[in-house]
Amino acid sequence: MEKETAEALKAFTQRYCDAWHEQRGSWPQSEELYGIPSPCTISSTDNYVIWQPQPFLPARNVNAIEQAMDIVIQTPIHTFYTTQFAGDMTARFGDLTLTLLQTWSEDDFVRVQENLIGHLVTQKRLKLSPTLFIATLDSELDVISLCNLSGEVIKETLGTRQRTVLAPNLAAFLDQSEPVV
């Protein structure tokens, strides 16, 4: 599953970068990431950074989350957050428009792990089964997550049991997602 997830993430990222090249004649750009150091940065203007994905080196995993929560995290989450450094990417899955979250730098990787731990602590307190978010939606109450029990990708409403299965696994979700530039 690790290889499938990494290949699907790299393929989606390539489709995303190709869409940028086709529509805008450049690598992806981000105003939100402007001024934040990253191995992805190619150049900056006065308002935005131009980036391209880079391998996540040195190799890492999200074992800090496992240790903090005393649970085993599904392998696809390790792979999703440690395959590459990249900017967040907008995508469409069916009728949902979402922002696929990525790690921008080593510092951002630490922040993402802290946010995932916070998410899991809240779920544990509310007696909800564990999920790990991979994307945001326009609604601040809804996210796209990986169910840590089944490995399915779901749309969930935070703090509730309201969950809808979108794909049987993370690789299938990424394969079916289309870049939005």
With a cut of 90, say whether residue 178 has pLDDT above it. yes
Mean of pLDDT values over 24-33: 94
- Percentage of the chain beyond pLDDT 90 is 94
Tokens linked to 107: 């510092």
What is residue 57's predicted lDDT score, i.e. its pLDDT?
86
Write down the mean pLDDT value for the chain.
95
What is residue 58's predicted lDDT score, i.e. its pLDDT?
80
What is residue 1's predicted lDDT score, i.e. its pLDDT?
63
Mean of pLDDT values over 91-117: 96
Rounded CA-CA distance 16/179 in Å is: 5
Mean of pLDDT values over 110-135: 96
SS in 3 state form for the chain? CHHHHHHHHHHHHHHHHHHHHHHHCCCCEECCCCCCCCCCEEEECCCCEEECCEECCCCCCCHHHHHHHCCCCCHHHHHHHHCEECCCEEEEECCEEEEECCECCHHHHHHHHHHHHHHHHHHHHCCCCCEEEEEEECCCCEEEEEECCCCCEEEEECCCCCEEEEECCHHHHHHHCEECC
Rounded CA-CA distance 181/87 in Å is: 13
Mean of pLDDT values over 15-41: 95
Mean of pLDDT values over 71-85: 95
pTM over 0.85: yes
pLDDT in tens, 129-173: 999 999 999 998 999 999 999 999 999 999 999 999 999 999 999
With a cut of 90, say whether residue 60 has pLDDT above it. no
- Percentage of the chain beyond pLDDT 70 is 99
Mean of pLDDT values over 113-130: 95
With a cut of 90, say whether residue 103 has pLDDT above it. yes
Tokens linked to 147: 């169910």
Question: Given pLDDT bands bounded at 50, 70 and 90, which one contains residue 91?
Answer: very high
Query: What domains does the chain contain, in order, with CATH numbers?
Result: 2-179 (3.40.1580.20)
